[in-house]
Every structure is written in structure tokens, then in C-alpha cells.
Amino acid sequence: MNFIKKTFLTTLTLMIGFVVIAQEEESAPAPTFGVSGSVDTYFRSTQYAPGTSFANLPGFAMGMANIIMSYEGEKSGFVADLVFGPRGADAVFNSPMIGVDGDPHFYRSSNIVNQLYAYYNVSDSFTLTLGNFNTFLGYEVISPVANFNYSTSYMFSYGPFSHAGIKADISAGENTSIMVAVLNSTDMTEMQDLTGDGDISGYMFGLQLGLYGQYINYLGGGEAGVSQIDFTGGFNLGDSFFLGINATTYSDDDDVEFSGVALYPQYTFSDSFALGARFEAFSEDGLGAIGDISGDGDNTSFTITGSYSSGNFIFKPEIRIDSASDKFYTDADGLTDSLSSFLVAAIYSF
């Protein structure tokens, strides 16, 4: 009888152990592999465009094809983000500068890489990421899917696009986050000797503090001695009304300075239609951003964009007006202090 009891208890214990292990295996998330991305194209009414990034080609034009492959495991994963087309080429303009056999006109294949990084979740609140990733500064991003306006701001265009380095993301509470990073010089997928002195030690330091959806960002260092402080955030002012905010200031050892502030009011009329605007004031000194001959001036721009969506398709008509403090622009009649244009964009995300 004792033998039967011991056998029964042993069998019961083993069965309970197998059930617990099975439950633990079932509760652990299964690794996932995903493919996503977008395609965008547009028509611009005039060949004259402001000096901001993307959407600057006249007539019917391509944006880019964006293909994002990702793998997410229980503790680690990766993202490989590839871009093709004019918008993609502009986004990775410095990736890399080294050409084939020393010729900078023949780029290696990494000039289609927008992001390429691996990450490891040290804990539920601590993640390490190593590789090339889009910037943490600013309200706007490279992908047209995530921006409300199709054209981009001056602050986004002349701030960093991407960084190569290592970063630590730390959750310090339900509404608080901290990011610390060591990076190559801005937009340098591969560190370059910009000064010709054989020194490539110009690493940069990045810091972000997030509080209740508002972010204060800092980027400093590099061979150019950059110092940039940026605020990005926004507030829901009702069930259908959102106000985004971005402000930045930049300076470096080459006596280049710029600063700006932008407001992004957006109103959602229905599940398929929304209307948004961007009001931006931008000042520069030594940058040459506003127009063909500007190196020191001010600019204000007003952009209003409609967004109609049907499934994965987004249609965006947009009107933009730029006004400068002097005749920094060029149009059909020569130098001018203002530009206006109309465009329509079609975006498909998957």
C-alpha cells in the first residue's frame, strides 16, 4: 500500500510539474517576424520649393518605398528598415560617405538603410539598442505615414535624421522615461574623419527625458561641437482636437546657429477625414537653410493639410506658404521673399 501511495504521489507531482511548465511556456510570448512599410507619391504644382526636405520635385514625382522587417523575441529582436526612391535617398544622404574604391559617387549598399539595429530587453524597464536608428529629436519623422503634413518643417529638415550608436531606454515609472545614448556624429552611419586630422573620436551624447508624453531632448558633442536642445510634445484639447508642439535651438563650433518653434493643430472630423496645420517660425545664422542665398535670416511658414483615409490608403491635399525676412527664394520672376505651392500626395501603408 505504501508503494502504491508513493507511486501515486510521484506521478501526481510529475503531472503538476508538467502542467506548470506547459502553462509557463504558453504564457511566454511567441517570437514574431513582421514585414511592414509604405509607398508614397505626389504631384507638386510648381518647380519652386522651400529649402526643407522631401516633396520638392515638380510635377508628378515619387516619394519612396519603405520596407521594414522586424523580429521580436521574448528578450531581444531587430529592425531592418530599407528605403528606395528620392525621399529615401535624401533621408540617408550621409550613409555612408565612403564610396567604392575611394570614389564617393559609387556608394555601397548601405545607402538604402534607414535603420538597422538590434535590441536586448535587460528587464521590463530597461532596453539596450545598438545600431543605426532614427533620431529622437523633433516632432516629425522620415516616414510620411507618421507625419500629418506631407511636406516637412525647417526644424526637422536641418536637425538630425538618424544616429548610429548605442542607447539605453529606461522606464522610470508609468509616465516617466529616460534615454541615454553614445552616438557617431549626426547622420554618420559610419564614423568619418571630417577634419582630415586622422581623428574620429568625435562621438556625441544624447539624452531624453519623457514626462507624461512630453519630451525634452539634448544632443551634444561630435567633431563640430554641436549643442542642440529640443522640446517635443502635444496635448489633447478635446475628443477630436490635438495640438502638437516642437521647439528647438542649435549651435556648433562652426558658428552655425538656428532655432524655431512650430505648432501642429489637428482636428478629426470623422474616422476617415482630418484637417491639420503647421505654423512654424524659424531663424538661422550661417546655415543657408531658408533659400538659395540665405545665411542669416528669418522665415515663417503656414501649411494646411487634409487627410482622407480609406483602409490603408491615405490621400493628402496640401497648401503651403513660406515668407522670409528678405528675398532669399527664387521663383520664375527671380528673387522673392515668399513662395506658395499646392501638392497632393497618395500614401499606402502595409
Residue 139 belongs to domain with CATH number = 2.40.160.10
One domain, residues 6 and 131: no
Phi-psi region of 238 (alpha: psi -120 to 50; beta: other; left: phi over 0): left
Q: How confident is the model at residue 24, as a pLDDT?
A: 47
Domain identity same for 295 and 254: yes
pLDDT for 210: 97
Q: Indicate whether 199 and 214 sit together in one domain.
A: yes
- The band of 119, judged by pLDDT with boundaries at 50, 70 and 90, is very high
Same domain, 25 and 90: no
- My answer on whether 100 and 145 are in the same domain is yes
Q: Can you tell me the mean pLDDT for 7-28?
A: 48
Question: How much is the pLDDT for 328?
Answer: 85
Range(s) of the domain holding residue 15: 1-30
- CB count within 10 Å of CB 5 equals 9
Structurally, the chain folds into a number of domains equal to: 2
Domain shared by 272 and 332, yes or no: yes
- Please indicate, yes or no, whether residues 3 and 38 belong to a single structural domain of this protein: no
pTM of the model: 0.85
- Residues 92, 237, single domain; the answer is yes
Q: Are residues 37 and 133 in the same domain?
A: yes
The whole-chain average pLDDT of the chain stands at: 87
Q: Is 201 helix (H, G, I), strand (E, B) or coil?
A: coil
At 137 the three-state DSSP class reads coil
pLDDT-derived band at 287 (thresholds 50, 70, 90) equals: confident
Please tell me whether residues 86 and 1 are part of one structural domain: no
Per-residue pLDDT at 65: 97
**Grid cell of 78 as nine digits:** 531587430
> What b/e string do you get for 147-165 counting C-beta neighbours within 10 Å, with b at 16 or more?
bbbbbbbbbbbbbbbbbbb
Count of C-beta atoms within a 10 Å radius of residue 290: 28
Which tops the pLDDT comparison, 170 or 6?
170
Residue 213 CB partners (closer than 8 Å, separation 6+):
175, 233, 234
Same domain, 279 and 135: yes
Which grid cell is 93? 544622404
For 165, the grid coordinates are 550608436
pLDDT band at 201 (very low <50, low <70, confident <90, very high): low
Model confidence at 101, pLDDT cuts 50, 70, 90, reads low
- Helix ranges restricted to H, the chain: 2-27, 86-91, 154-158
In a shared domain, residues 12 and 73: no
